[in-house]
């Protein structure tokens, strides 16, 4: 019974975060004026929404034009990697429901967890939240999940920020 209550609280926490993010999205333009901190906050909020896509990559591309693209990528990667915790927590909370659907992949994911999560975080993939849910439900250690997300997202966002910098004269 205690596990069910804990799981329900984790799911409610993830839903609460999504509601806060959706409310805060009306203030995104103000966050963008904060430079690197704004990139971090918007990326964190964008990644914290579970199964609701928020295109923070567009901000990364545009901020790469006016700020140091390397630092934009790092700020966005850190924010996005940390923001993915909500999907992970939701997966932990619903592990009894979700775990059954991922049991075929469990052994492979457990052996290659950081590589698999890092690659999925790097690839522009609107279904990455499913990876967070899966990682949480099968019990991948949270710190390994977060580090893999940060590495994959940082590499992706550095590339996107440089794309913004070098495409500035063409767009």
User: Three-state DSSP class for 42?
Assistant: helix
Q: What is the DSSP string of 140-155?
A: --HHHHHHHHHHHHHH
Residue 27 DSSP symbol: G
Q: Could you give the CA distance from residue 146 to residue 153 in angstroms, rounded to a whole number?
A: 10
- The pTM of the whole model exceeds 0.85: no
97-128 pLDDT, tens digit per residue, is 665 656 666 677 777 888 989 998 999 877 78
Q: What is the DSSP string of 65-95?
A: HHS-HHHHHHHHHHHHHHHTHHHHHHHHHTH
Give the position of tokens 């409610």: 12
- Domain range summary for the chain, segments of one domain joined by +: 2-166
30-41 pLDDT, tens digit per residue, is 666 788 998 998
Kindly tell me if the per-residue pLDDT of 171 is higher than 60.
Answer: no
């Amino acid at each position: 019974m205690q596990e069910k209550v804990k799981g329900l609280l984790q799911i409610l926490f993830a839903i609460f975060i999504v509601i806060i993010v959706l409310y805060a999205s009306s203030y995104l333009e103000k966050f963008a004026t904060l430079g690197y901190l704004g990139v971090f906050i918007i990326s964190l909020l964008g990644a914290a929404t579970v199964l609701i896509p928020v295109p923070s990559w567009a901000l990364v591309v545009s901020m790469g034009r006016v700020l140091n693209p390397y630092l934009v990528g790092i700020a966005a990667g850190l924010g996005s990697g940390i923001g993915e915790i909500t999907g992970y927590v939701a997966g932990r909370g619903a592990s009894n429901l979700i775990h059954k659907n991922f049991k075929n992949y469990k052994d492979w994911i457990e052996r290659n967890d950081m590589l698999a999560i890092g690659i999925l975080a790097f690839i522009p993939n609107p279904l990455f939240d499913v990876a967070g849910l899966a990682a949480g439900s099968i019990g991948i250690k949270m710190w390994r999940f977060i580090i893999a997300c940060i590495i994959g997202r940082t590499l992706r966002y550095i590339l996107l920020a440089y794309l913004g910098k070098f495409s500035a004269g063409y767009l």
